[in-house]
Structures are given as structure tokens and as C-alpha cells.
Chain A
Amino acid sequence: MDKALRMIFSLPAAVCVGLGLVTVVTFSILHENTELSYQTHLWAKEYVSDSIGPEDVYRQVLDIPEGLAGGIFKLGILFGCSDGGCSGGLSVKLTQGDRVQEHLVQSFKPGFSGRKRFEFHGYAAGPATLEISGLIGNSDSAPGLLFIREGKGPSLEGPGLDGLAYASVDWFKVFPGEEKLTSVFPSKLISLCWLISFAGLVALAWGAMKSAFGELRKAD
């Protein structure tokens, strides 16, 4: 038993555990993109449009921020549902010159929170047209679009809007997982140094476990 404990918590084993654990965590993070809120819509009273029917199209020219140009970003668009539930589907399209990307939401799930994020990539900074339209088969229970009355620049156009309106749109930057280390550290060696410091702390904890078991046995 003693021999086994000595081996499990020996220095080489501790180094292996530290490096192994940090490697696993690092690789799992590097395979995962991070979404960060980049710009949010104005804090103002929000209104909800009529349910978006099959023929309805809501359109607004958005200004793509400089910091999101060329990369991946998400648009968070807010919808409102009557009587606590939504049914029906929507198409969300972003157009800039020849670049057109479209997302279809076939049906809203029960418990839908109000905001949906749609991913786009490769757009340049500047104006792009956002179009939100209803799918065939939408009824009165289809979701409506949330909008505010205060804003700047081109306004929202669409059926049933009375006066100036602006879609409640939030911007999220998507940070690719694989760029997380390379974007900050100038060389692999420095990345390694940084990761080794975490591995070293884990290895120390692992190495100290031998005494923890020893104390436990003493207490018995």
C-alpha cells in the first residue's frame, strides 16, 4: 500500500498529472469559441411588433462596427411572444453587397427566452441590411419583433410600425477557440511557460497528497 501511494504521488507522477490535467483543460478550451458582448442596444422602453406573418418583412440597415469586421460575430435579436408562447418560424438575413447569409428558425421552442443569436462572418465594417421575415404557415401566435423608439441612423421598416422604430439588436464578437493562445503570446515557448505555471501548481497539490493520506492514516 505504502509503495503504491509512494509511486502514485511521486515527483514524476505529480509532473505527469499536472501536465496532463492542464493539457486536457487547454485543449478543451481551444476547441470552444467564446462569445463576448460587443455592443448592446439602447436602454429604452421596448415595444413589440405585430406577429410576423408569412408575407411580413421587417428591414433595417445596420452599421457593422469596425471591431467585428472580417471576423465572426453574432446578432442578438429580441422577439416577443404573446400569452407566454411562440409558434411559427422566421428567416433572418444579413446582406452587404454580394455577401448574403441567412438563418432559418423553423419553430420556437417552448420556454424561449426572447433573444436569439444568429452567427455571421466575413462582413466588412459599414452598412448591411438586416431582413426578418415570417415563414409560410405562421399564424397570430408567431413571434413579434422587439423594437425601441429611440435611436440613430436608418430606422426599422415593416408592417404595423407607427413612427420611428429601431430593432433591439445586440452585437456579440465570436472569438475562435484556436486563436486564444496565439492571439496573445508571441511564441509557443511563452505559451508553454504560462501553461507550465498552472501545471506546476497542480503538480504541487498532487505531490502533497501523499502526506494528506499519511495524516489520514495517523488519525485512524
Chain B
Amino acid sequence: MTVNRSRLFYKYAPWCLCLFFVLKAAVTGIWIVRPWDVPDEVGHFSYIKDLATGKGFPVLHETPLDKEVYADFAPAFTRPGLNWIAQHPPLYHILMVPVYGLGSLVGTSFWGSFYLIRIVTSVFFGLGIVVLIKAFKQAGISDVVALGSGLMLAAIPNHTYLAAAVNHDALVFLLGSCVAYFWIRASQTLGARELFLLGLFLGLGGVVKYTFLVLIPPLVCYTAYPLWKQRVPLKTWVTFLLPVFVPIAIWGVRNWLLLDQFLPVDTTGFRSDNPLTQSFIEFGSTYPVFSILTQSYWGLLGWMGDTNMHVRWLHLFAIYQQAYVWPVIILFGLSLVYLVKAGFKDKKHLAYASTGLAIALLILFLSRWLNRETWFYLPLFVLGTAMVGWMIGARISGSEESLDMESILQLGAVIVFVFFLAVHFYKIFDYSILSGALQGTFGRYYFPVIGFLILGFLSRGLRHFPLAGLLVLISAMVYSCVELYVWLHEAVPFFQLHG
């Protein structure tokens, strides 16, 4: 390939990837995944239908699911229950109103709208992958490795499944990718335009799903520090922060006026007569939370598509999970190796970073939180913890090595991801204690921070390992074949089992 042809290839390859991904997800969403067999799909579609038909925003604890939708979802049950999805902010649903209108031109039922929304949602996800590829390149990862990483992301069953769904997770993924991209650019340039776009996408994400708001404290603080050091003018601060807080503030005030709560959440399903009586530490060592999160990230298919309101899940077998996780473990390991290698240049750096690593691992082992975790996920958690410890130690050392742009971005991404993980873990604990059983352990909640996970924990290996390109491309091919196997061998029969 000549330089020009190569450039042309990398210009169009992400868009081809997007096209193939959307085609795969759309066909899957139309013919394989039954309606209402995606988590909360009935609630999201009812929300959109309420908006599209002029009923206005559904109100939490007041508005029932749409009657016509409910009649298809659960024909044996006559009275529609309340729409718990009304707790979510409305951006995804508002964006889908014109799509609903366009879809309703096909036939007299709502199915035209339903499937068109599934298709448009898959475009969001495809674009999210393209933006992430751009973000990786912006962070200094080569074209080939960035494309390979995107191809790996495009071949995860959960991504295909949730992309072609009436569900806001795909938009969360797209906005999370945009935030990652503009955060990298803003960190590199501290330019007003980049800061504005970072703030805007953060703010927009917050009015798609509340979990997105968890990104705000670490990102704003981490970005604000260099701004404060550079003494940027007030106008820049306003340009950055106003779009972060205005969208959610508007939605919060609306909630306050209607429900006396700023960010109301439906926790009615989490009440139990037998709550758990465990401390936070005990909880962590009792349940394999991290394994469940990782496992469900690759694929947790199904929901309530059988019209009897029975929740049915298809968990990916361990063999498939291993096919997905081992390449990631190798990349985690490589990143740690290159972190340590960089540390050898400076004795102080090495001493601080090693101490950080040792303390982090000591805390992990003393907490006994790995007690119940699945064996093939253990290397991932150990390597991840080691990297966090190393980077914190290195940063405290204040060495030059820890102050280059690569290290700044990597540490920032790690902070964002770990903060998100910590908040989510605490929410899992909180809800599980209340309900007496493990709650909220869905890997899809991590869609807003996938870019940060890759930048924080994988990027160093991806940048420096000479064989990284081959590794990610071969992994992408393996991922694609495994995904085909999962869909055709497991998911197709599963979705027809109780049809």
C-alpha cells in the first residue's frame, strides 16, 4: 500500500466499519431480537410514543405505560403498570420523536416506528465507535491500532444487541465517546472551542441518563486544574462549565416542580422485608460483583419478550467470555509492562510508583474482594489495580515522566474510570442491601466510560508494543467469529425458545 492509498484506507475504513456494524445490528434488531426483549424497551418506547403523540413527558409514579404498547407486551395482563422509565431524562426520547413520526408513515400500527427507532439507535452506536477511533488517534495511537480497537468494539455481542434496541444506551455510548475525544483535545490544547464542546457533550449526556453525571466531577476537576494553573479568563470557564450544568439544571427544576426531587429515581423494586446486613467490605468479598459486571458486558441477552412478563436471560458461556477477555488481559499486561519500563529512567519515579503498586495490591488482597471472582477475570482485576497504584505513585513522585501528555491523559482516564466504578459499586451495594439480593450489576452501565477504560488501561500497550497492530487485528477477527457463533448458535435459538 503506498502512503496515499494507506491514508485513503484509514480515512474510509472507520466509516466502512460503521456501515457494517449498523447493517449487522439493524438486521439483528429487526429479525433476531424480539420486541421487548431488550431491558426496559417497553418503557422507553412508551416514553417516545407519549411524546410523539402529544401526551407530553411521562411523570414518574404517575404515568402508565402506553395501553397499545402494553397490550402487545403483556396481552394477558389488562392494566398497564406505571412507566418506571419516566425517571430518565428525555434527550434520547426527544430525538426519537421525529423518527417515530417517520416510522408511523409505514402502516397503521406502531411497528414501523419501533423498528425505525431500532435502526437509528444502531447508527448512534456505530458513530460512537467511529468517534472512539478518532479519539484513540488523537491520543497518539496509530491508525492501524485505533482501527483494530474499533473493530474489536464492533464485534462484542452486547454492543450489537443494545445498538439495535429502543433504549438510550447507544446514545450514552456515542456521547461518552464524544466526551473522551473532546477531553483529549481540550487537555492537549486548553482551547475554548474544545472546552466548550467537552462541556456540551458532558451536559447532553447528563440529560440522556443520570449515570452520565458521574463523569462530571472527575472530568471537570481534572480539566479545571490546568485551566486554573494557566489562569485562563473567566469567559473560558463560563464557556466550559455552562453547557455542563445548564441542561441537567433545566431538567432538575422541572423534576423539582413536579416531584419535589431534583433527580428522582425509581427504587420501588429495591425494597425488601429481608435486607442484607453486611458491611461494604463484607459485601465485596461475598459477591463476585466485578466478574458479573465483566461477564454481562460481553453479553447478557434477553428480557421480557415472551409476552408473559417472565424475565429470561441468555448469559454467555465461559468459553465465549474467555475468548473476549484474554486479548484484553494481554493488553492490560502490556500496558503495565510499558508503564514499568518508563519508570526505570528515574529512581524516584520507580520508588514511588512501585510503592503505589504494592500498596494497591496489598489493599486488594487484604480486602478479600477477589475471593469469589471467576478465575479467568482475576488477572484483569489484579493488573488493573496494579496500574492504578503505579500511576498514582508515579504522579506523587512528580517526575518528568509522569508529566508528559501521555501520562496525563492516561492518569486522567484512569481517574474517570475508577471514580465511575467506585460510585457504581457503592450504588450496587446500596441497592443490594435494601433489596436483599444483588442488584444493578449490568455491564452496559459502563458505556459512557469505555473510551476512558481503553485510554487509561490499554493505551500504553497499544501505543508502544510493536506487535499491537497485529494483536488487535487478529483479536478483532477472533471476536467477529466468536460473535457470529454466539448469535447463530446461542442467541437465535434463545430468542425463539419461548416465542
Measured CB to CB, the residues of A under 8 A from B are 6, 9, 21-22, 25-26, 29-30, 32, 34, 36, 38, 67, 173, 175, 180-181, 183-186, 190, 193-198, 200-202, 204-216, 219-220
Asked if B497 and A173 sit within 8 Å, CB to CB, the answer is: yes
C-alpha spacing A38/B469, complex, angstroms: 43
Which residues on the B side are within 8 Å of A180 (C-beta)? Answer: 488-489, 492-493
B467 on interface, CB distance cutoff 8 Å = yes
Q: Is B371 an interface residue (CB 8 A)?
A: no
Task: Answer whether residue B148 sits at the interface, using C-beta atoms and an 8 A cutoff.
Answer: yes
Contact A198 B484 (CB under 8 A): yes
Q: Is the CB of A208 within 8 A of B480?
A: no
Asked whether, in the complex, the Cβ of A194 is within 8 Å of the Cβ of B27, the reply is yes
Give the size category of B's interface with A.
Answer: 35 or more
Stretch at the interface among B12-20, B109-117, B235-243, B335-343: B12-20
Q: How far is it, in angstroms, between the C-alpha of A197 and the C-alpha of B483 when the chains are bound?
A: 12
Contact B489 A216 (CB under 8 A): no
User: At the interface with chain A, which of B214-222, B373-381, B470-478?
Assistant: B470-478
Minimum distance in angstroms from A202 CB to a CB of chain B: 5
**Whole-angstrom distance between the Cβ of A2 and the nearest chain B Cβ:** 10
Residues of B whose CB lies within 8 Å of any CB of A are 1, 6, 9-10, 13, 16-17, 19-21, 23-24, 27-28, 31-32, 142-144, 147-148, 151, 154-155, 466-467, 469-470, 473-474, 476-477, 480-481, 483-485, 488-490, 492-498
Query: Is the CB–CB distance between A202 and B480 below 8 Å?
Result: yes
List chain A residues, Cβ under 8 A from B9.
207-208, 211
Ordered by A's residue number, 26 sampled pairs between the chains whose C-beta atoms are within 8 Å are: A22-B481, A29-B484, A29-B488, A34-B493, A36-B497, A67-B497, A67-B498, A196-B20, A197-B21, A198-B24, A198-B483, A200-B19, A201-B20, A201-B155, A204-B13, A204-B20, A208-B13, A209-B469, A210-B1, A211-B144, A212-B144, A214-B1, A215-B142, A215-B469, A216-B467, A216-B469
Q: What is the count of residue pairs linking A and B with beta-carbon distances less than 8 angstroms? A: 144
Contact present for B473 and A205 (CB under 8 Å): yes
- Nearest-neighbour CB distance to chain B for A113, whole angstroms, equals 16
Which of B17, B466, B467, B485 is in CB contact (< 8 Å) with A204? B17
Given A186-B31, A194-B24, A200-B16, also A29-B489 (CB < 8 A): yes
Contacts of A205 in B (CB 8 A): 148, 151, 473-474, 476-477, 480
Residue of B nearest to A38 (CB): B497
Shortest beta-carbon distance from B61 to chain A in Å: 34
The answer on a CB contact under 8 Å between B23 and A196 is yes
A216 touches B481 (CB 8 A): no
Minimal beta-carbon separation of A173 from chain B (angstroms): 6
Having A190-B31, A212-B469, A216-B470, one finds 19 other A-B pairs with CB under 8 Å, namely: A21-B477, A22-B480, A29-B484, A29-B485, A36-B494, A173-B493, A180-B493, A184-B31, A190-B27, A197-B24, A198-B24, A198-B484, A200-B19, A204-B151, A205-B148, A205-B151, A208-B13, A211-B9, A214-B6
- Nearest neighbor of B465 in chain A, beta-carbon distance: A219
Chain B residues lying within 8 Å of A195, measured Cβ to Cβ, are: 484
Chain B residues contacting A9 (CB-CB under 8 Å) are 1
Complex Cα distance, B144 from A4, in Å, reads 20
Residues in B neighbouring A212, C-beta threshold 8 A = 144, 148, 469-470, 473
Q: Which residues of chain A are within 8 angstroms of B470 by Cβ–Cβ distance?
A: 209, 212-213, 216
Residues of A within 8 A of B19 (CB): 200
> How many angstroms between the C-alpha atoms of A22 and B485 in the bound complex?
10
Q: Which single residue of chain B is at the shortest CB-CB distance from A206? A: B477
| A193, chain B: closest CB distance, angstroms | 6
A215 to B, closest residue via Cβ: B469
Known: A67-B497, A205-B473. A34 touches B21 (CB 8 A): no
